[in-house]
Amino acid sequence: MIQLLAFLFCFTSFTGFALAKSSHYKSVFGVRVDAKLSRHIRIVSWVCLLASALMSMWHQFGYGSILLCGYMAVSVMCLALLLSYMPAKLRSLIYLLPGLLVITAVLALL
C-alpha cells in the first residue's frame, strides 16, 4: 500500500506541474490560470513529489530511488496520454485524487 501511495503522490505532483501551465489548465478547465494559483499549484506539487520520494526511500531503502524513477516515468506517461486524448477526463480524476490519497493512506496505516 505504501508503494501505491507513493505512486499516487507522484501522479498528483506531475498533474499539478502540468496544470500550473496555462495551456494545460485551459485544455482541462476551459479558462487560463492566474499567476498566484499557478504558484500555489507548483508549491503543492513539489511537496507531493517530496512526499513520494520520502515514502519510496523510507519503504524500500536502496531501491527507493529506482522506484521513484519508475513512478515518475509511469506518471508522466499516463498524464501525457490523458492530456493528449482526454483532457476532460483529467478534470474528473483531479477531483478523485484527494479521496484516493486519503483512502490509500488509511489502508497503508492499518
For residue 39, the enclosing domain spans 2-109
Counting DSSP H helices and E strands in the chain, the numbers are 5, 0
Nearest Cα to Cα of residue 18 among 52, 51, 42? 42
* Residue whose entry in the numeric block shows the C-alpha cell 490519497: 101
pLDDT in tens, 32-59: 999 999 999 999 999 999 999 999 999 8
CA-CA distance, 61 to 73, in Å (whole number)? 20
Based on the structure, what is the number of domains in the chain? 1
Kindly state the average pLDDT of the residues 70-81: 96
10/18 Cα distance (integer angstroms) = 12
**What is the pTM assigned to this prediction?**
0.92
Asked if the model's pLDDT at residue 1 lies above 90, the reply is no
pLDDT at res. 62: 84
**pLDDT tens profile 7-19:** 999 999 999 999 9
Q: What is the CA radius of gyration of the chain?
A: 14
